[in-house]
Amino acid sequence: MSDLITADLIDLDLRGADRHEATAVLAGLLAAAGRVTDVDGFLADVRAREEQMPTGIEGGIGIPHARSAHVTAPSLAFGRAAQGIDFGAEDGPADLVFLIAAPEGGGSEHMTILASLARKLIHADFKTALREAPDAEAVAALIKQNLPS
């Protein structure tokens, strides 16, 4: 199985007028890496999930996610957004955005990733390390060492 996250799936200067634009940027990284076969189809699945309940969580975090027929392998893209992007959290915009992409028939794997991320993101030191990491390689290594493989 390929790594869940690699440096090419990370944007340390994520920009977007809203969560849909920011998610599209991250989905583009997944497509460029061959992990998403149809960006528009995948984004429709992410939007459908987002309409059920916002995916922003307290502490400046956005975790859009979806199972999709357009995903070839469980994947995680990450963006750091200095300006913040509204993902619907009560405490304001997200500056750390994780896009979880799971194959449609992938069982509960994406929920395991989501739960593991949520548990780590409770810890201020993990969020601080993500905000201060000097480059994409450092972010990928940090996430890999903190999530189950």
- Asked whether residue 1 is domain-assigned, the answer is no
- Asked whether residue 125 is domain-assigned, the answer is yes
- Asked whether residue 2 is domain-assigned, the answer is no
In contact, 60 and 94? CB cutoff 8 Å: yes
Give percent of the chain above pLDDT 70.
Answer: 97
- Asked whether residue 31 is domain-assigned, the answer is yes
Name the pTM for this structure: 0.94
Among 83, 94, 98, 18, residue whose Cα is nearest residue 56:
94
pLDDT value of position 120: 92
- Asked whether residue 36 is domain-assigned, the answer is yes
Based on the structure, what is the number of domains in the chain? Answer: 1
Q: Give me the phi and psi of 136, to 5 degrees please.
A: -60, -35
Helices assigned H by DSSP within 53-135? 109-120, 124-132
In contact, 85 and 145? CB cutoff 8 Å: no
- Asked whether residue 53 is domain-assigned, the answer is yes
Q: Would you place residue 1 in the very low, low, confident or very high pLDDT band (cuts 50, 70, 90)?
A: very low
Task: State the pairing for strand pair 61-62/56-57.
Answer: antiparallel
Residue 65 is a catalytic residue: yes
Report the C-alpha gap between 122 and 117 in whole angstroms.
9
- Asked whether residue 35 is domain-assigned, the answer is yes
Give percent of the chain above pLDDT 90.
Answer: 83
- Return the structure tokens found at 75: 């994947």
- Helices 19-32 and 39-52, interaxial angle, to 10°? 140
Q: CATH number for the domain including 30?
A: 3.40.930.10
- Asked whether residue 136 is domain-assigned, the answer is yes
Can you state the percent helix, strand and coil of the chain, rounding each to 5? 40, 20, 35
CA angle 112, 38, 121 (to 5 degrees): 30
Domain range for 50 is 7-145
- Out of 65, 70, 110, 123, the active site residue is 65
pLDDT value of position 114: 83
